[in-house]
């Protein structure tokens, strides 16, 4: 059984895709996607030795060595141009996901859909997408084992399209679709972020403010204001 988090990622894979799952670790995602009829083949990429071997083992154990190719390498370096039409990158920080996309962007020209699941820093991913002509087409937020996860789905197109120019900064941070939907998990996430930032400000104020901590405090206050405004 796959985690709800990875199941949500898989649910966005178009039927009959050729998939690359980057940072695949145990390769659960491509195995599940194949066995449930989402994909016809996959490349499972891993940069680290242990996870690479665990992906190989899982693919062998599942009897899928003919359709899931486990390759060792950094990010999108493991795929040939036009080899896949869908890419998943899940379970890493947003900054690392954006790096992987940036470093391999010449491999993405034949790719139709990206499904990205940043554990933190989703705004870094949204920023990358917007400035590289990838249009956000859907977003999900979910909670599993006390953790809140976001899933971002993008296709080639007009990166600016889902955003509203009046509050693009808030939308980049919170997610344009998630902000519109405002479900309970979304509200829970941002209320707890607000609380967390307010606590940091209180801690900063306890000590004598230096120029640096003053700057940090102002940044946090600005983010708090930005979010409180759109959550109101």
Nearer to ligand SAM, 74 or 193 (CB): 74
Q: Which stretch binds ligand SAM (CB under 6 A): 41-49, 63-71, 158-166, 197-205?
A: 41-49
Q: Take residue 68 and report the two structure tokens written for it.
A: 């899931």
**Cα 89 to Cα 54: distance, rounded to the nearest angstrom:** 17
**Cα 182 to Cα 149: distance, rounded to the nearest angstrom:** 15
> How many positions of this chain bind ligand SAM (CB under 6 A)?
17
**Burial per residue of 70-97, b for 16 or more beta-carbon CB atoms within 10 angstroms, e otherwise:** bbbeebbebbeeeebbbbbbbbbebebb
58 scored as a contact of ligand SAM (CB under 6 A) = no
Q: Which stretch binds ligand SAM (CB under 6 A): 45-53, 133-141, 147-155, 211-219?
A: 45-53
83 scored as a contact of ligand SAM (CB under 6 A) = no
Contact pick of 30, 45, 118, 162 for ligand SAM (by CB under 6 A): 45
How is the beta sheet containing 17-22 ordered, strand by strand?
68-72, 39-46, 17-22, 86-92, 113-118, 147-156, 134-144
Query: H helices of the chain, where?
Result: 4-11, 28-35, 49-61, 94-103, 122-131, 168-174, 176-181, 184-206, 211-231
Q: Take residue 26 and report the two structure tokens written for it.
A: 């145990």
Minimum gap (Å) between residue 55 Cβ and ligand SAM: 8
Q: Which stretch binds ligand SAM (CB under 6 A): 42-50, 142-150, 154-162, 178-186?
A: 42-50
48 Cβ contact partners less than 8 Å away, ≥ 6 residues apart = none
Q: Which residue has the tokens 């859909």?
A: 113
Minimum gap (Å) between residue 232 Cβ and ligand SAM: 34
23 scored as a contact of ligand SAM (CB under 6 A) = yes
25 scored as a contact of ligand SAM (CB under 6 A) = yes
178 scored as a contact of ligand SAM (CB under 6 A) = no
92 scored as a contact of ligand SAM (CB under 6 A) = yes
Minimum gap (Å) between residue 54 Cβ and ligand SAM: 8
Minimum gap (Å) between residue 46 Cβ and ligand SAM: 5
Judge whether 53 and 152 are in contact, CB under 8 Å: no
In the complex, the residues that contact ligand SAM under the rule CB under 6 A are 6, 22-25, 45-48, 51, 74-75, 90-92, 96, 100
């Amino acid at each position: 059984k796959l985690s709800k988090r990875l199941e949500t990622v898989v649910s966005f894979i178009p039927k009959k895709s050729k998939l690359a799952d980057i940072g695949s670790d145990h390769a659960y995602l491509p195995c599940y996607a194949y066995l449930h009829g989402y994909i016809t083949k996959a490349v499972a990429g891993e940069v680290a030795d242990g996870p690479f071997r665990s992906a190989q083992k899982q693919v062998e154990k599942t009897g899928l060595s003919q359709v899931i190719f486990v390759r060792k390498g950094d990010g999108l370096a493991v795929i040939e141009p036009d080899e896949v039409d869908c890419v998943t990158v899940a379970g890493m920080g947003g900054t690392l996901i954006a790096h992987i996309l940036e470093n391999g962007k010449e491999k993405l020209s034949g790719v139709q859909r990206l499904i990205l699941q940043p554990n933190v820093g989703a705004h870094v991913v949204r920023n990358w997408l917007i400035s590289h002509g990838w249009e956000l087409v859907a977003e999900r937020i979910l909670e599993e084992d006390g953790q809140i996860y976001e899933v971002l789905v993008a296709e080639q197109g007009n990166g600016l399209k889902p955003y509203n120019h009046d509050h693009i900064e808030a939308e980049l941070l919170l997610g344009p679709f998630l902000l519109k939907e405002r479900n309970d998990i979304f509200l829970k996430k941002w209320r707890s972020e607000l609380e967390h930032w307010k606590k940091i400000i209180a801690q900063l104020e306890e000590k004598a403010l230096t120029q640096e901590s003053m700057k940090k405090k102002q940044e946090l206050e600005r983010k708090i204001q930005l979010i409180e405004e759109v959550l109101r």
